């Protein structure tokens, strides 16, 4: 395979001259190629075949113990002007970054094969989709990109038709943590990643392209690239709705995307479908609504905690055609992780005999990679070229106190403030301390490719591009009582909150006006067969004015970190909040 796109051909030639691979392989995306790569990865020990009876065509990959998560401190946005990257990003001058990376890439593929992966983020024929090419020396990355993107000949044909594409250059290098960098050049639509084989650092179509570069593309082209799931909800009356929701990693996003409603809802005829679990690209349609696609073709999910009682749909996907990374293994060659069941694994995520003294058997950020089409709740609309119309946007995070179960914004500008100041506790998905509360605007803190002030301004500016914008809500499934127990059952019961959200979008139910926004009346939430003390719902829907005054002060300090690029409209909304609290 070669290309008629001269810019692509020239770039591949330049990279080959720099990295000096022994061979160059253009990926065509065929089933025969997939089999060839699986055989190769098994032969060189990168893959281990799992139990063919219980998990046909499933593989286990154990990565370097020092290469198991995103490395935000080594991730840079490289814009000509430092201020454009914003205080939310680490910045490096493009010339400096290119020189540093090219020095690392010099000769790094000697003795290796260089793989050229043309891919499309989103349905091949969607006007919302965007294409890229990743060059890598990792066959493991190729196999993950095969599941996560529309990869191969059809993507190359679109690139040749359109001309433009995002350039991504990746090498695992020596897997030395001291020689590991992920550089993004949004003004050039390019990415350079060296020294890691881990998903978010190495699968350049994912966070690097679909969020950091795409968020910049979206700003310049007038759309939104967001860290959001897309969920379909069909009412018993047959009306189809779509919700986009943003949660930081490992805060239940995949669980919500694949939600199974309580039995009473299923009996009544409610249906849930999954369009995406992680990334959402939205653009204004001719009807004034936001239309969204999931740019990904697969799921790169966190394994620990995925179980029959938490996410049965996710679990059902994982018995065939799945890549498991850094999970444990049972005596009979099945993948295992904490929360799955009560079996004891034979080996841990480092391939050692399992010993509880060594810590968890599966790494807390161990992963599965699987095609979205394997999901029982998969929506065929995932392949729709036009995307799906979004009725509601939901922001959430882990807050043990203060934040109510669900709050509706008064209007779009209030909703942008709510999204911009949402906070959550950190998780194992990123390196560093776990359990620290940090503000994570729109769940985009690690992923926004430019200054947050400009990003919020772009969100506010959507009012001029679309006149039927979605209603905005915040949710908090994670409130705890004085004894540290979760007050809300979560998981499938979150359907009760979604029902209220959809009813609000249809103006079918009222709300109580509060200083922080519109909250449900307890009587307006469906509590049929809800196994909890309904008195707790009153607590979950109460506004602690003193606590929110402190929150408003904290928010003011947070916004000030972003200087004079913060839109005045957010400060106006904050003053309104403080006045209502007073």
**How confident is the model over 73-128, as pLDDT tens digits?**
999 999 999 999 999 999 999 999 999 999 999 999 999 999 999 999 999 999 99
The answer to whether residue 445 scores a pLDDT higher than 90 is yes
The answer to whether residue 501 scores a pLDDT higher than 90 is yes
Contact residues for 246 (Cβ-Cβ < 8 A; gap 6+):
226, 227, 228, 393, 394, 395, 396, 419, 422, 442, 443, 444
C-beta separation of 169 from 135 below 8 A: yes
Longest distance between any two alpha carbons in the chain, whole Å: 70
Homologous superfamily assigned to 299-374: Phosphoenolpyruvate Carboxykinase, domain 2 (2.170.8.10)
**By three-state DSSP, how is residue 138 classified?**
coil
pLDDT of residue 248: 81
Q: Which CATH number fits domain 226-296+381-581: 3.90.228.20, 3.10.129.10, 3.40.50.1000, 1.10.3720.10?
A: 3.90.228.20
Selecting among 108, 131, 251, 448, the annotated active-site residue is 251
Q: How far is CA 467 from CA 47, 51, 281, 372, in A?
A: 51, 53, 18, 32
* Number of residues that this document lists for the chain: 582
The answer to whether residue 337 scores a pLDDT higher than 90 is yes
pLDDT of residue 256: 95
The answer to whether residue 367 scores a pLDDT higher than 80 is yes
pLDDT of residue 340: 98
155: number of Cβ within 10 Å: 24
pLDDT tens, 446-476? 999 999 999 999 999 999 999 999 999 999 9
pTM: 0.96
Record the tokens describing residue 349, joined without a space.
């995520």
Percent residues over pLDDT 70 in the chain = 97
pLDDT tens, 549-582? 999 999 999 999 999 999 999 999 999 999 999 9
- Taking residues 429-433, what's their average pLDDT? 62
The answer to whether 251 is a known catalytic residue is yes
Contact residues for 62 (Cβ-Cβ < 8 A; gap 6+):
48, 325, 326, 349, 350, 351
Instruction: Give domain limits for the chain.
Output: 6-46+67-222, 226-296+381-581, 299-374
pLDDT tens, 297-332? 999 999 999 999 989 999 999 999 999 999 999 999
The architecture in CATH of the region 6-46+67-222 reads 3-Layer(aba) Sandwich (3.40)
Rounded to the nearest integer, the mean pLDDT of the chain is 96
- Taking residues 528-542, what's their average pLDDT? 94
pLDDT of residue 251: 78
The answer to whether residue 427 scores a pLDDT higher than 70 is no
**By three-state DSSP, how is residue 44 classified?**
coil
- DSSP per-residue codes, 159-184: HHHH---EEEEEE-TT--GGG-EEEE
The answer to whether residue 1 scores a pLDDT higher than 80 is no
Contact residues for 159 (Cβ-Cβ < 8 A; gap 6+):
3, 5, 8, 118, 131, 133, 165
Contact residues for 330 (Cβ-Cβ < 8 A; gap 6+):
336, 343, 345, 346
pLDDT tens, 477-496? 999 999 989 999 999 999 99
């Amino acid at each position: 395979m070669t290309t008629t796109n001269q810019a692509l051909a020239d770039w591949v030639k330049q990279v080959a001259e720099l990295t000096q691979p022994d061979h160059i392989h253009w990926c065509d995306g065929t089933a025969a190629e997939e089999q060839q790569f699986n055989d190769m990865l098994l032969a060189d020990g990168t893959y281990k075949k799992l139990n063919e009876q219980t998990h046909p065509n499933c593989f286990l990959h154990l990565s370097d113990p020092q290469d198991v998560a995103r490395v935000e401190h080594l991730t840079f946005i490289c814009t000509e002007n430092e201020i454009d990257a914003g205080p939310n990003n680490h910045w490096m001058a493009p010339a400096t970054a290119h020189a540093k990376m090219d020095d690392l890439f010099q000769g790094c593929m000697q003795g290796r094969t260089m793989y050229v992966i043309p891919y499309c983020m989103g349905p091949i024929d969607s006007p919302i989709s965007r294409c890229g090419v990743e060059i890598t020396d990792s066959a493991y990355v190729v196999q993950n990109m095969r599941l996560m993107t529309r990869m191969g000949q059809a993507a190359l044909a679109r690139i040749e038709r359109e001309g433009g594409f995002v350039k991504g250059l990746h090498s695992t290098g020596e897997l030395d943590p001291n020689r590991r960098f992920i550089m993004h050049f949004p003004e050039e639509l390019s990415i350079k990643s060296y020294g890691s084989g881990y998903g978010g650092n190495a699968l350049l179509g994912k966070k690097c392209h679909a969020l950091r570069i795409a968020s910049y593309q979206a700003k310049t082209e007038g759309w939104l690239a967001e860290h959001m799931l897309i969920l379909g909800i069909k009412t018993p009356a047959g009306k189809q709705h779509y919700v986009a929701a943003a949660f930081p990693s490992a805060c239940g996003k995949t669980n919500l995307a694949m939600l199974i409603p309580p039995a009473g809802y299923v009996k009544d005829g409610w249906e849930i479908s999954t369009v995406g679990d992680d990334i959402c690209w939205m653009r204004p349609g001719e009807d004034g609504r936001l239309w969204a696609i999931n740019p990904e073709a697969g799921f790169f999910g966190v394994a620990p905690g995925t179980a029959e009682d938490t996410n049965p749909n996710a679990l059902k996907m994982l018995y065939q055609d799945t890549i498991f990374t850094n999970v444990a293994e049972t005596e009979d060659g099945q993948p295992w992780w904490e929360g799955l069941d009560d079996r004891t694994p034979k080996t841990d995520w480092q391939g050692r005999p399992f010993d509880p003294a060594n810590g968890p058997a599966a790494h807390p950020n161990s992963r599965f990679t699987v095609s979205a089409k394997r999901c029982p709740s998969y929506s065929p609309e995932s392949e729709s070229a036009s995307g799906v119309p979004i009725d509601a946007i939901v922001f959430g995070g882990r807050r043990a106190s203060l934040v109510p179960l669900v709050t509706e914004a008064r209007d779009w500008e209030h909703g942008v403030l709510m999204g911009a100041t949402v906070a959550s506790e950190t998780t194992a998905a990123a390196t560093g301390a776990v359990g620290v509360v940090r503000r994570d605007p729109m769940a985009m803190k690690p992923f926004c490719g430019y200054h947050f002030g400009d990003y919020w301004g772009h969100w506010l500016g959507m009012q001029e591009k679309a006149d039927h914008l979605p209603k905005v809500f915040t949710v908090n499934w994670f409130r705890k009582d004085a004894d540290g127990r979760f007050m809300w059952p979560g998981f499938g019961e979150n359907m009760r909150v979604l029902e209220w959200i959809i009813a609000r979008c249809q103006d079918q139910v009222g709300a109580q006006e509060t200083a922080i926004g519109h909250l449900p009346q307890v009587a307006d939430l469906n509590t049929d067969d809800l196994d909890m003390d309904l008195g707790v719902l009153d607590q979950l829907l109460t506004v602690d004015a003193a606590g929110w005054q402190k929150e408003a002060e904290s928010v003011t300090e947070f916004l000030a970190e972003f200087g004079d690029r913060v839109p005045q409209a957010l400060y106006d909304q904050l003053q309104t909040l403080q006045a209502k609290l007073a």
